[in-house]
Copies of this chain bind each other. A is one copy, B any other.
Amino acid sequence: MNVTVFEVGPRDGLQNEPRALSVARKIEFVNGLAASGLREIELGAFVRPDRIPQMKDTEKLYEALHAGKIRAPRANFWALVPNLRGLERAMESGATGIAVFTAASETFNRKNIGMSIADSLREFGKVVRHARAWGMQVRGYVSTVFECPYEGKIKPKAALKVIDGLADLGVQQISIGDTIGAATIQGVDAVIPAAIRAHGAKKLAVHFHDTRGTALAHTLRSLEHGIRIVDSSAGGLGGCPYAPGATGNLATEDLVFMLEGMGVKTGVNLRKLSEHSLAFHRKIGREISSRYLQAFAASRRR
C-alpha cells in the first residue's frame, strides 16, 4: 500500500505561525523537506501581503525554484490562490499547481473569505477554468467539514454538497478538512465513505488537525475507508498548541511514523525528516508540537 503525504508546512504551517521567516530560511526549510522524500509540497500563497505577511515572499520562492536554489526535481509544488488576482501572480511565477479553498460552513466562509459558499464556488469556478486552461493542477480545500467554530457541528450532507460543488468545478483533488480539530469518528464515517463513493478515493485527501489529539486516529479511520492522500505539516507547524484558538496541524513525523508501522510506503525518510524538522524548529525558536519529534529530540539528548 502506498500513501501520498501532502506536506503543507511551508504554507498552512508557516502562515499560521506568529512571525514571518526570511526567504533564505524558507528555502532551506523546503529543501530539507524535499530531500527527506516529500513529493507534494505546498510552497506558499498568492494572497495579499498586507493581510498575510508570512506569505509575502511566495514569488521569491518560485524564483528560487526556477533558479535551482530549491532542489526538488521530483516534487510537485502548490500555492494557494484566493481569486483571479492571485491566479495571475501564480501564472507569472510559473506555478504548476494551485489550491483554492472554501468551507462547509456558511458562517466560516463569510468570516474567512468574505463570501457565501455559493459565491466562493462561482468565484473559484473562474479561477479553476483559467488555471486548467493554462495546464495547472488544481487542488480544492474544504474546511470546517465536521465542525465550525461558529455554527458547531456541520451536517454531513452539507459538507458533501460542498465537496460535490468543488468537484463540479473540475479540480483534480479535494482535501477534506477538520479545521479546528473537532472531528469525530462518527463524523469521519458519515463523510469519507460517501465522498469516496461519489468521487473516488484517488481524488480525495484528508486534512485533520491534532487540536484534541485525534488527528492520527481520524486519519487511520480514513485510510481504512480507502483514503490514500493525507495532509500534514512538518513538526506540526501551524497553530501553537498553547495559544488560544490553537489549530495544530497533524505533524508529518507522527503521520509517517504511523504509516511506517502499517507497512505503508510513503517515500519519506523519517530519520532525515526528523533531523531536518528538529534543526528548523531550533533555528526559528519554535516549540515542537509533534509528539514523534519530541521523542526524537529526547532520544538525541540522551
Contact = CB atoms under 8 A, between A and B. Distances in A.
A174 B291 CA distance: 27
A251 B221 contact: no
B212 A291 contact: yes
A12 interface: no
A186 interface: yes
A285 interface: no
Interface in A107-150: none
Given A217-B216, A217-B217, A298-B243, A211 B291 contact: yes
A250 to B, nearest CB: 9
B291 A184 contact: no
Contacts of A211: 291, 295
- Interface size on A, as a range, is 35 or more
A213 B251 contact: yes
Contacts of A220: 185, 217, 220-221
A258 B213 CA distance: 9
Interface stretch (A76-84, A86-94, A165-173, A260-268): A260-268
A186 B216 CA distance: 15
Interface in A29-71: none
Contacts of A187: 261
A211 B213 CA distance: 12
Contact of A216 (B216, B224, B301, B302): B216
B295 A258 contact: no
A254 interface: yes
A290 interface: yes
B254 A214 contact: yes
A200 interface: no
Interface string A247-274: 0100100100110111100000000000
Contacts of A243: 298
Given A186-B263, A220-B185, A244-B301, A214 B295 contact: no
Given A186-B263, A213-B258, 6 more contacts: A184-B261, A184-B262, A213-B254, A217-B219, A220-B220, A220-B221
Interface of A: 181, 183-187, 210-214, 216-217, 219-221, 224, 241-246, 248, 251, 254, 257-258, 260-263, 290-292, 294-295, 298-299, 301-302
18 contacts: A184-B260, A185-B261, A186-B261, A186-B263, A210-B291, A212-B257, A212-B291, A212-B295, A213-B216, A213-B291, A214-B254, A214-B291, A217-B220, A220-B221, A241-B294, A242-B298, A244-B302, A246-B294
